[in-house]
Structure 1
């Protein structure tokens, strides 16, 4: 009868490497007290022995997990994917993984996900945006773990945030448009009740236009977020019908801006000679279409990286400011003057 071999233990690794079982345990948990040389020796010994670290048992003992919960509005949005990538790349060397929730731009769905994710006892939770349902906010406030709001600079943050003012970012584009001579400027966006960041961009447009003493009523709704290229084209068609003398349009995203651009091309409207178009997000398509789109680079990867650094510093007990402000960049290309 074949005998089952006893699996290697931490004690076996400790004996091989000449350290204590506690040091072995700390090495697998990624604790900063262990030197890189010692950690490498322990991991190499584990590889030779065929040892597999039992994270579940360790978590039960320590009441800590090895993942960070994250909510994003869309799983097919390149900007949010870049943010998650930056976060994951920063946390992975410490053995922390991402547990992802998808809200579909719905704060009620976000509330449900927050509750579900918190039941799994994550080490921290990273949410997109600074506006939540009252219950969702209470859940985050009472979570007793680090909470980081991203892609926003909320006036009343729950704990930490890594982001920027979407309103101010669009204000910068309006200011540029006005500086180069545009006056009759429109805005294409989605349902303001669902996309809070899109709503902030819309408010930023309105306030900036009023600050320049210009008409801010050229507002076209493109539907329920996320706004597609097709919906951007349809919104541009409505804009050209309702406000045919429009000189420039700012779109809530590069995807909607690309759709607006193609609608103009179908109608033989020259960009930017007849009408200028600006987007938001610095998507890849905006840099290769003809003409290339003027846009705002929100530094999405940097948001994720800085959120990860913030979480690691919190975990290590390092003092640092609770808020990280990202500076979006206006990129002027061929679709505007």
Structure 2
């Protein structure tokens, strides 16, 4: 550190501040120190700093999957905002397996993070007990639980599912199926399904859920062919498919094109998420667009200033129903 201080013509205390609390150092000095660090290839010992300050300057995130473009937007907003404040982000995924969340949390807590982000809101008693044992902020994202563990940043998946179902009903559709894919560990998908069921009940229409939890199924784009071989073969009167995600909807549309089924003429299809490919002219998908990056930025701000976030408890970023060419 002394070599960096000498090259930047500052004291070692200033170098330490640039590394730990850059916002407390003038821009001119901060730039000189950063330039010296780059020239010397200096790598700070964060472990020593963490022991002396009782802060690791690391946050952890446990996500359901990294194979999702909208989650990617959230992680980009989260990591870039934390990085700008001088923090790092440790990331792990459960692949929608609730049993892995506790193991993932134990691994992250061993690194003494300054806070945790969770994309699930359904937790085992083991996870809840672990989080109670540590005095750090916890932010649950992509959902608005009725009783957050600490802070929640997201939107109502139930209301979004309800609104999309009402949109399809408003288009004159009477036989609407909810295509859920594998919902094991996906509490957000279940809430969208519940919103769909409520909307159909209000319209006095029977719900069609496919596949059932007992059946199981592939997920994502691969579900397209299975929908035609399963759901539509058993229920040929179906004239609209409300898909749990844009990926599932894209798979359905691809299979519909292969089979010569017109969308939306023969079959209306909707998605969920705002998946980049689904917005292209080749699919032109009606969907619920989620401000994924905004969720990440708001989550980072909640971690950095938890007391302000706790005053709100729940931060609702909303969503937008975007009608395009598939309904």
**Residue 251 and residue 50 in structure 1: after superposition, are their counterparts in 2 closer, same or farther (change >3 A)?**
closer
**Helix, strand or coil: the match of 1:32?**
helix
C-alpha deviation, 1:121, in angstroms: 0.2
Matched, 1:267 2:259: yes
What's the CA shift for 1:291? 4.3
Q: Aligned partners of 1:50, 1:267: CA distance in 2, in Å?
A: 59
Counterparts of 2:269 and 2:39, CA distance in 1: 60
Is 1:227 equivalent to 2:181 in the alignment? no
**Greater relative contact order (CA < 8 Å, ≥ 6 in sequence):** 2
Which stretch of structure 1 is more off in the superposition, 24-33 or 270-279? 24-33
- In the alignment, structure 1 residue 66 sits paired with structure 2 residue 57: yes
1:256-283, CA deviations, whole angstroms, 9 ceiling, x for partnerless residues?
A: 1111112222322211111100011111
Instruction: Report the TM-score, using the length of structure 1 for normalisation.
Output: 0.88
Q: Choose 222-231 or 191-200, whichever is displaced more.
A: 222-231
Given candidates 150, 153, 158, the residue that maps to 2:141 is 150
Contact kept in structure 1, 2:180 and 2:209, CA below 8 Å? no
CA contact (8 A) 1:232 1:255 kept: no
- Post-superposition shift, 1:23? 3.7
Secondary structure class of the residue paired with 1:121:
coil
For the pair 1:305 / 2:311, whether they are aligned, the reply is no
1:10-29 residue pairs with structure 2 within 5 A?
A: 12=6, 16-17=9-10, 21-29=12-20
Cross-structure match for 1:248: 240
Q: Structure 1 residue aligned with 2:104, among 101, 113, 133?
A: 113
- Contact kept? 2:152, 2:313, Cα under 8 Å: yes
Would you say 1:327 and 2:318 are equivalent positions?
A: yes
Contact 2:151–2:310 at 8 Å: present in 1 too? no
35-44 vs 134-143, greater mean Cα deviation: 35-44
Give deviations 1:176-224, integer Å, cap 9, x for gaps. 1112211211110123342211111111111111122111134334976
Q: Is 1:54 matched with 2:48?
A: no
For 1:283, the equivalent position in structure 2 comes to 275
Q: Is contact 1:114-1:136 (8 Å) kept? A: yes
Q: For 2:277, what is the secondary structure of its paired residue?
A: helix
Runs of 4+ in structure 1 deviating by more than 6 angstroms, as ranges, are none
Q: For 1:313 and 1:289, how far apart are their aligned partners in 2?
A: 41
- Are residues 1:78 and 2:69 paired? yes
Worse-matched range after superposition: 72-81 or 98-107: 72-81
RMSD of equivalent CA atoms: 2.4
Conserved? CA contact 1:8–1:51, under 8 Å: no
User: Bigger CA drift: 222-231 or 166-175?
Assistant: 222-231
How big is the shift at 1:48?
Answer: 5.9
The 8 Å contact of residues 74 and 226 in structure 1, kept in 2 or not, is answered as no
Question: Once the two structures are superposed, what CA deviation does each residue of 1:292-332 show, in whole Å capped at 9, x if it has no partner?
Answer: 211111111111111112222338x7885232111111111
Identify if the C-alpha distance between structure 1 residues 53 and 226 changes in structure 2 by more than 3 Å, giving closer, same or farther: farther
The superposition leaves residues 104-152 of structure 1 with CA deviations (integer Å, 9 ceiling, x where unpaired) of: 1011101110111111101111010211111112212322111000011
Distance 1:224 1:120 in 2: 36
TM-score by length of structure 2 reads: 0.91
Work out the number of aligned pairs and report it.
326
Task: Tell me what 1:93 maps to.
Answer: 84
Residue ranges of structure 2 left out of the alignment (5+ in a row): none
What's the secondary structure of 2:55's corresponding residue? coil
> What is the CA–CA distance in structure 2 between the aligned matches of 1:131 and 1:10, rounded to whole Å?
47
* Residues 76-109 of structure 1, C-alpha deviations (whole Å, 9 max, x = no match): 2111111111101111112211111110101110
Residue number in structure 2 paired with 1:167: 158
**Where do 5+ consecutive residues of structure 1 fail to align?**
1-6
Q: Does 1:195 align with 2:189?
A: no
